[in-house]
């Protein structure tokens, strides 16, 4: 086997006509500029990733997505095998090296290693304690201290959580990402008996916990969902951050897509918004994390698109045309 096991999702690669409009939205969403050079915009959150969003100038499209290799040896192992290129230097902030390929839907996939990390914004990423659960004074986490989270503001983004893609054949796509990148299925969604509509897929880090899904592989049925981007998801510090970001984006006049609610699969508290170019962006927090001992679950479309609390899913969700 020439495949490897990636450790996490790194960044989406989008293309839009006006990088200034895109940057303004991403700042309001909770990001900060790293660099704008050669008509490519790099944006970061408050965590240790050098950048968590890459946008290039051009006609609106979804170019691809990137994942972190666990080691330089892994990157060299997969280079030049199957559809993957030889190792190349990354011409972007933080440097590093990469290989690239096209998946079964012609989506660009980059595997990267050695991008310099940044010092996280520890204070911003440390929410005030919450008095939750339990009985008795020993359960109080905040004593003689009020909780003031401030007025509506941009969310504090911890990291890129996951990327969802729409594909022609979920089985074929999952097999590809499993073979080459080591993804395993947390949950398989059946849209009819013996017919798979989606895979919620996580990295295989052995005994180490990882997000319930770093990659959602979704059928492009109904037909108006063309192959490409379903949504991009960013993890914020806590539930207050989800609501604060909601209020800020509403105040700025952006289009709300779906939320606020709590998912069944992954259990995240979620909130989805449209960028000015109709790409779907998610704020989420409090996600499930699994190691490789958790067996794959199988469920139906109602549970996959449902929620434990919150509004019903919209008819336009996952369609980057926004209609």
Residue 201: which of 188, 180, 184 has the closest Cα? Answer: 184
For residue 260, cis peptide bond before it (omega within 30 degrees of 0): yes
Mean pLDDT of 206-213: 97
Q: Where are the domains of the chain?
A: 8-118+155-309
DSSP per residue over 103-164, as a string?
A: -TT--EEEEEE-PPP----TTTT-PPP---S-SSGGG-S--S------SS----EEEEEEEE
pLDDT band at 137 (very low <50, low <70, confident <90, very high): confident
Whether 54 and 13 have beta carbons less than 8 Å apart is answered as yes
Report pLDDT for 62: 96
pTM over 0.85: yes
Cα–Cα distance between 214 and 11 in angstroms, integer? 11
**Beta-strand pair 157-167/215-219:** parallel
Lowest mean pLDDT among 3-12, 176-185, 310-319: 310-319
List of residues 6+ apart from 192 with CB closer than 8 A = none
Nearest partner of 8 among 76, 94, 69, judged by Cα: 69
pLDDT at residue 117 is higher than 70: yes
**3-state per-residue secondary structure call for 62-110:** EEEEEEECCCHHHHHHHCCCCCCCCCEECCCCCCCEEEEEECCCCCEEE
Give the pLDDT band (50/70/90) at residue 1.
Answer: low
CA of 269: how far to CAs of 60, 264, 309, in Å? 29, 10, 9
Q: Indicate the range of 90-99, 145-154, 214-223, 289-298 predicted with least confidence.
A: 214-223
| CATH class of the domain comprising 8-118+155-309 | alpha beta
Model confidence at 272, in pLDDT bands (50, 70, 90)?
very high
d(CA 64, CA 107): 5
The residue-averaged pLDDT of 258-280 equals 97
Q: Report the percent of the chain where pLDDT is more than 90.
A: 82
Round to whole Å and give the CA distance between 291 and 295.
10
Buried b (16+ CB within 10 A) or exposed e, 67-82: bbbbeeebbbbbbeee
Looking at every residue in the chain, the average pLDDT score rounds to: 94
β-bridge mates for residue 218, sequence order? 166, 198
Question: What residue has token string 């008795």?
Answer: 136
**At a CB cut-off of 8 Å and minimum separation 6, what does 91 contact?**
none
Give pLDDT, residue 323: 62
Beta-carbon contacts of 38 under 8 Å, excluding residues fewer than 6 positions away, are none
Q: CB–CB of 312/267 below 8 Å?
A: no
């Amino acid at each position: 086997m020439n495949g490897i096991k990636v450790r996490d999702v790194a960044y989406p690669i989008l293309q839009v006509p006006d990088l200034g409009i895109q940057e303004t939205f991403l700042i309001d969403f909770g990001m900060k500029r790293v660099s704008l050079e050669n008509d490519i915009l790099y944006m970061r959150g408050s965590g240790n990733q050098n950048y968590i969003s890459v946008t290039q100038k051009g006609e609106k499209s979804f170019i691809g997505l990137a994942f972190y290799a666990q080691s330089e040896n892994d990157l060299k192992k997969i280079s030049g095998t199957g559809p993957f290129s030889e190792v190349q230097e990354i011409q972007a902030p933080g440097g590093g090296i990469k290989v690239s390929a096209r998946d079964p839907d012609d989506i660009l996939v980059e595997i990267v290693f050695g991008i310099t990390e940044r010092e996280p914004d520890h204070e911003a990423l440390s929410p005030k304690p919450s008095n939750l659960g339990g009985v008795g004074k020993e359960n109080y986490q905040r004593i003689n201290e009020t909780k003031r989270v401030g007025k509506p503001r941009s969310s504090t983004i911890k990291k890129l959580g996951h990327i969802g893609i729409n594909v022609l054949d979920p089985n074929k796509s999952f097999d590809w990402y499993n073979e080459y990148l080591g993804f395993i299925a947390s949950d398989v969604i059946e849209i009819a008996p013996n017919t798979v509509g989606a895979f919620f897929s996580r990295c295989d880090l052995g005994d180490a916990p990882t997000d319930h899904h770093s990659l959602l592989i979704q059928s492009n049925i109904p037909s108006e969902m063309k192959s490409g981007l379903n949504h991009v998801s960013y993890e914020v510090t806590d539930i207050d951050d989800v609501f604060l970001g909601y209020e800020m984006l509403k105040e700025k006049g952006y289009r709300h897509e779906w939320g606020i609610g709590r998912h069944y699969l992954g259990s995240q508290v979620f909130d989805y918004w449209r960028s000015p170019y109709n790409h779907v962006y998610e704020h989420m927090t409090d996600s499930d994390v699994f190691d490789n001992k958790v067996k794959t679950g199988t469920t139906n479309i109602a549970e996959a698109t449902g929620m434990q609390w919150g509004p019903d899913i919209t008819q336009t969700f996952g369609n980057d045309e926004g209609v």
